[in-house]
């Protein structure tokens, strides 16, 4: 078995708790409610919510820079576990309140999307591909 195949197998079976991800990225929890002990099996990154709906699997982690209510509604429809806002973006209070109401954890991060994807992949979180 070659090294690449071993790494792919490791990633396929990785389960990382959301609170561990938050610690690894120096994230800031923006919501008051939501399960930070949820196990995240994969991650996707997009600012196009139509792509999120058509590609991402339920229970995945979404990385996005879109801080309006559409990101929360999309996460609700796609049954995503949580959202990390990249590039230091922070949603307004009405978006945070909506996420709290729906139990969707929101995390802020200073890193750009490309760097965040690399950091999470290195931490053992596989990409989300349907």
Distance of alpha carbon 76 from alpha carbon 122, whole angstroms: 27
pLDDT of residue 33: 87
pLDDT of residue 8: 46
CA distances from 112 to 8, 68, 89 (A): 24, 18, 10
Tens digit of each residue's pLDDT (9 = 90 or more) over 59-117: 999 999 999 999 999 999 999 999 999 999 999 999 999 999 999 999 999 999 999 99
Among candidate residues 71, 61, 63, the one with its CA nearest the CA of residue 109: 63
pLDDT of residue 3: 46
Contacts of 98 (CB under 8 A, 6+ apart): 69, 72
pTM: 0.87
């490791």: which residue's tokens? 10
| Burial status of residue 59 (CB atoms within 10 A of its CB: 0-12, 13-18, 19 or more) | middle
Q: Where are the domains of the chain?
A: 3-122
Name which CATH class applies to 3-122.
alpha beta
Among candidate residues 106, 121, 119, the one with its CA nearest the CA of residue 18: 106
DSSP 51: H
Tens digit of each residue's pLDDT (9 = 90 or more) over 22-65: 998 999 999 998 899 999 989 999 999 999 999 999 999 999 99
Sign of the dihedral through C-alpha 35, 41, 43, 44: negative
Task: Pull the structure tokens for residue 19.
Answer: 């609170």
């Amino acid at each position: 078995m070659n090294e690449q195949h071993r790494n792919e197998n490791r990633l396929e079976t990785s389960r990382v708790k959301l609170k561990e991800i938050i610690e690894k990225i120096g994230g800031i929890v923006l919501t008051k409610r939501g399960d930070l002990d949820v196990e995240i099996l994969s991650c996707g990154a997009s600012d196009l919510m139509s792509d999120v709906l058509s590609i991402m699997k339920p229970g995945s982690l979404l990385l996005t820079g879109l801080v309006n209510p559409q990101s929360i509604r999309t996460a609700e429809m796609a049954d995503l576990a949580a959202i990390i806002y990249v590039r230091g973006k922070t949603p307004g209070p009405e978006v945070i309140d909506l996420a709290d109401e729906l139990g969707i954890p929101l995390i802020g991060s200073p890193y750009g999307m490309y760097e965040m994807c690399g950091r999470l992949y290195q931490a053992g979180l596989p990409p989300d591909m349907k």
